[in-house]
Structure 1
């Protein structure tokens, strides 16, 4: 049995862009756990697969808001997330959001994995749509600004990850 197989498995999932940058700030966790990063496939994230253990989900159509294309991409990511979850059955799913993480978070909760949501560093005073959806199922909900504990009562403020 390899040493890596004795480590607890985690999935770190996020949208691309700033959410992905925040997940990468958690890199010290990567050596402690058998990790898998799951994010949207984009020009910025594809090269990162050479450095990190990664799988990709479908990106939502840019500029589409929450139209039909958005919901179609969430449905596609639901099915992709099932395969990823089966292949890397984690003890914990950690996410910095946003919409891309929702299917994985709900599936993980269904199979008994813990869900940890780290609210985006950009959320200083207002709630986030995706975070609001996931909030009830999260085992831990971490905010990076103390003001956000007013919006999310069970949130834990641990400071910024930057």
Structure 2
């Protein structure tokens, strides 16, 4: 009997964040990966994997994070991931914080769109995640994070 693969929770909001997460999928092959995003239609892109939908939240409306936090707790308790990877945005901070509290290793990959400076959510993630990376060497150097290269 082969050993069970460790569980990974891969998270991204819509649009470019989701596209970047999908480009990271080859790195997830040694994991039992479940995905989280905000659109039902994305489930077909990760067919064969567990997929969860969460509501959107905005840093301009802190109350909007409450439903996200409740969903995050439920998903984290069900999945029990060893690691969490996200390409953002703000609602994914709830998973980073709660997942870390539950013992998961956490990685925030700041969006390639942030070529001048790290995103606001990325700067918050620096305080919450085990590791934060930028896709731009200049931004990484300025922000004190690592650059592992571009996803896109």
Q: TM-score, normalised to structure 1's length?
A: 0.84
Deviating beyond 2 angstroms after TM superposition, the runs of 4 or more aligned structure 1 residues are 44-53, 65-68
What is the aligned length?
A: 152
Q: Which residue of structure 2 aligns with residue 18 of structure 1?
A: 16
Structure 2 residue 145 is matched with structure 1 residue 159: no
Check whether the contact 1:78–1:103 (CA below 8 A) recurs between aligned residues: yes
- 1:49 Cα offset (Å): 5.1
- 1:51 Cα offset (Å): 5.4
Check whether the contact 1:74–1:99 (CA below 8 A) recurs between aligned residues: no
Cα deviation, 1:26-47, whole Å, max 9, x if unaligned, reads 11133210111111125x5254
Label 1:151 to 1:75 Cα distance change in 2 as closer, same or farther (>3 A): farther
Question: What are the ranges of 5 or more consecutive residues in structure 2 without an aligned counterpart?
Answer: none
Check whether the contact 1:41–1:59 (CA below 8 A) recurs between aligned residues: no
Q: Which residue of structure 1 aligns with residue 103 of structure 2?
A: 112
Cα deviation, 1:26-75, whole Å, max 9, x if unaligned, reads 11133210111111125x52543535431110134xxxx6443xx33321
Cα deviation, 1:117-142, whole Å, max 9, x if unaligned, reads 11101111122111111111221211
Cα deviation, 1:65-122, whole Å, max 9, x if unaligned, reads 6443xx3332111000000000111111111111120111000111111110111011
Question: What are the ranges of 5 or more consecutive residues in structure 1 without an aligned counterpart?
Answer: none
- After superposition, the CA RMSD in angstroms is 1.9
Q: TM-score, normalised to structure 2's length?
A: 0.89
